[in-house]
Amino acid sequence: MSLYICSHCDSQYSKWQGQCDECNKWGTIAEESEHASLPTESVSIASSTPLERIPIAIQEINNVLGGGLVPGSFVLLAGDPGIGKSTLVLQIACALISPPCTQGNSSKISPPCTQGDSSKISPPVHRGGLRGGSSASVLYIAGEESPDQIALRLNRLNASSQNLRFLANTSVKSIIANIKKHKPDLVIVDSIQTIFDEDIDGTSGNVNQVRACASQLLQIAKQENIPIIVIGHVTKEGYAAGPQTLAHMVDVVLYLEGDRFHEHRLLRSTKNRFGPTNQVGVFSMSEKGLQEVKNPSEMFLSGQRGAIAGSVVSVVMEGSRPFLIEIQALTNKTSYGYPKRAVSGFDLSRLELLIAVLARRAGLKLDNQDVFLNIVSGLKVKDPGLDLAAALAIASSLSNQAMPQKSVALGEIGLAGEVRPVAHFAHRVEEAKRLGFEKIYGPSLSLRATGGSEAIPSINQISTLAEMLEILGIKKEQ
Ligand code: TYD
Ligand code: MG
């Protein structure tokens, strides 16, 4: 069967048509001519060589990528404007160009190992990995900022621009020409929304332009076996010309998350053709760029270790990593009208559900109370395993009675007020104990057995929310 492909946006059709539905260009669709070059012989998978990877000297990034950058891979780095994407890619570039002199878990980007060597571009290397880790070259397409601004950022990161080549031209054709000419070890495109193809209608950033440029970059990545990292902003007006448009065509999708008023940043893989998805790397944005956080649990706790009413610690799973977080609730008598419910980092409808369960199943009087719920340190969580901690925080604030010192609450809450099992229970408990939390309140064994979690000794087993409040001596306010 023949395949018809639009020469502008790479859309595929099973039969010829005059106009492309995707980019609306006329006369651009032609029968795929490369079919003849496709292999005619089937091969054994076992005979293929294992995937080659270019390790990045920043462990958190390596982990998220599944062990390093795969040559020829097309990686999309998405995130809100101002979150730190340009900083992150520049750090990746620097780590590739000048890997740290010392091994070990230094969390900083080390200064370059060697001085001198005035040539900016290293000679072409054997494709498919770096030679001995030295003299890698990176091509940085600077569509968002001037080279001066990037130089300032490099200064801030205490890194050198040696072997880092900048291209301030955002025409996809000249980018491709540069890649072919210099054959860098890594190409960074900051950002896809600034790249344009003069043969496509519309300004850079519109859907057709974004798609057409990305598909040409994808092609050159595969052809030259060079990894390309493309930055894509998450746009306010939905995702039209942003990451969503590209997710299906790229090999890896990374999201950099966080909020600008807090220092932590999470790098999350939502798609990875070469490794596990939902891996999370944790960083903190410092004066000198993004620093790896090896012990995220410590960062997300408030540091206030005395028992305070309204504050409960729990363990959240981000990908396969458990972090301790602190939930704070404040209840306050409603002064007029409807009681107010407000959240920060938590789901509002989940809070409303928990309030209803606390009222109906545990007898707490909350219909004349404003309730505020906050996840300390600006983390946004959706994990249902935090239900118990959130409900306890509310009950604790209402009764002005603190949870026991060094205690952690884990469990989902059902509509009947029952405490339900949570995924990765053992893993969460382990993390809590590692950080010195001794009292763990969790779902009862019988329920946990159905959830598939193994029995863990020294857990205070709780079957219902009402039972939990009784244990803590939180009185019903009737
Ligand atoms: P940036 O990488 O420009 O974000 P993006 O490319 O996602 O738009 O980073 C933006 C913010 O990061 C900016 O407000 C300044 C801050 N920043 C630091 O706090 N420390 C640093 O070392 C750097 C380089 C930036
Ligand atoms: Mg930027």
CA 232 to ligand 2 centroid distance, Å: 9
Q: Are 121 and 243 in the same domain? A: yes
Q: Is the peptide bond before 191 cis (omega within 30 degrees of 0)?
A: yes
Q: Are 187 and 148 in the same domain? A: yes
Q: Are 139 and 288 in the same domain? A: yes
> Which residue, 264, 294, 324, sits at the end of a domain?
294
Q: Are 285 and 313 in the same domain? A: no
| CA-145 nearest atom, ligand 1 | 3
Q: Are 23 and 90 in the same domain? A: no
Contact 190, 170 (CB under 8 A): no
> Residue 269 sits in which domain range?
59-294
Q: Which residues line ligand 1 (CB under 6 A)?
A: 79, 81-87, 153, 156, 285, 287-289
Give the CA dihedral 330, 335, 340, 345, nearest 10 degrees: -30
Give pLDDT, residue 306: 66
Q: Are 423 and 404 in the same domain? A: yes
Take atom 1 of ligand 1 and give the residue whose Cα is closest: 84
In a domain, 264, yes or no: yes
Give pLDDT, residue 74: 95
Helix (H, G, I), strand (E, B) or coil at 50: coil
In a domain, 46, yes or no: no
Q: Which ligand is nearest to the CA of 258?
A: 1
Cα 134 to its chain centre, rounded Å, is: 29
Q: Are 189 and 288 in the same domain? A: yes
Please spell the DSSP secondary structure of 379-448, one letter per residue.
-----GGGHHHHHHHHHHHHHT-PPPTTEEE--EE-TTSBEEP-TTHHHHHHHHHHTT--EEEEE-HHHH
In a domain, 99, yes or no: yes
Q: Of 9-13, 322-326, 389-393, 404-408, where does the model show the most confidence?
A: 389-393
* E strand residue ranges, 39-194: 74-79, 138-142, 164-167, 186-190
Cα 6 to its chain centre, rounded Å, is: 33
Tell me the pLDDT tens digit for each residue of 447-471. 444 444 455 667 889 999 999 888 8
Give pLDDT, residue 47: 57
DSSP single-letter state for residue 472: T
Do the bridges between strand 4-6 and strand 12-13 make them parallel or antiparallel, or are there none, so unpaired?
A: antiparallel
Give pLDDT, residue 457: 61
Output the pTM of the full model.
0.76
Q: Which two tokens stand for residue 134?
A: 């030295």
Q: Which residues contact 97 (CB under 8 A, 6 or more apart)?
A: 112, 136, 137, 138, 160, 162, 163, 164
Band (440; pLDDT cuts 50, 70, 90): very high
Q: Which ligand is nearest to the CA of 194?
A: 2
| CA-80 nearest atom, ligand 1 | 7
Length of the chain: 478
CA 255 to ligand 2 centroid distance, Å: 14
CA 27 to ligand 2 centroid distance, Å: 37
Number of domains observed in the structure of the chain: 3
Give pLDDT, residue 360: 94
Take atom 14 of ligand 1 and give the residue whose Cα is closest: 82
Cα 281 to its chain centre, rounded Å, is: 7
Give pLDDT, residue 12: 78
Q: Are 110 and 215 in the same domain? A: yes
Contact 3, 32 (CB under 8 A): yes
Q: Are 167 and 242 in the same domain? A: yes
| CA-82 nearest atom, ligand 1 | 8
- How far apart are the C-alpha atoms of 242 and 412, rounded to whole Å? 35
Contact 290, 157 (CB under 8 A): no
Average pLDDT over residues 36-64: 76
Q: Are 230 and 373 in the same domain? A: no
